[in-house]
A = this chain, B = another copy of it.
Amino acid sequence: MAHMPKNAAAPSVPTRDRLLDAFEDLLVEGGERSATLDAVAAAAAVSKGGLLYHFASKDALVDGVLARLDALALQDAENIRTAPAGPVDYLIRTSVHTGSPLDRAYIAGSRLAQGRDPRAMQVLADIRRRWLSVIEEAVHDPDTAQAIMLISDGLYVNSSLAENELAPQDPTDAAMARLIALIGRLLPGS
């Protein structure tokens, strides 16, 4: 058990992933400023030296979350495409914060983008482009697809801005169902 955690009865979650999780959580809950190396190390129950062993710099940590976000989003594009209730329904319902790993990673990425990190902005742009093309494929009209993407983005910022009830917060509630019905009116066929 050379490279395993000392106390591991089970492999548990690798330290590297725990550090990434901690970094994400701090970004999501406290914004960029609160996600310091010390805070990340503490949240992951690792010393600062241990953090820097896995990620040589804060930049490396950023690259780490961004890489994971990209991988998660790539998988998600497939989920959207093959969703039983259809891509639009799936996209809209998952645009509010669900606490899924992708969700957390996406918000973390947004925080980094708001801090003007060009890598984060690039990754987010790529993800959104991917989503848009899936929706375009489904609705067969670029303008409609774009409008749907905009609503999805709007839902995201709303649930990001926390505790306000301007928009549906829960993917399963009635307001969400009404919103999806409304979006139906945008579709070319009627």
Binding site for B on A (CB under 8 A): 29-34, 110-111, 113-116, 121, 124-125, 128-129, 132, 143-144, 146-147, 149-158, 161-162, 164, 166-167, 175, 178-179, 182-183, 185-186
Measured CB to CB, the closest approach of chain B to A122, in angstroms, equals 10
CA distance A143 to B151 in the complex (A): 13
Contact assessment for B116 and A29 in the assembled complex, using a CB-CB cutoff below 8 Å? yes
- A166 contacts across to B, CB distance below 8 A: 125, 128-129, 132, 146, 149
Please list 8 pairs of residues, one from A and one from B, whose beta carbons are closer than 8 Å in the complex, sorted by A's number. Answer: A30-B116, A121-B161, A124-B161, A125-B166, A129-B164, A144-B182, A156-B157, A186-B186
Contact of A147 among B30, B111, B128, B182 (CB under 8 A): B182
- A116 contacts across to B, CB distance below 8 A: 29-31, 34
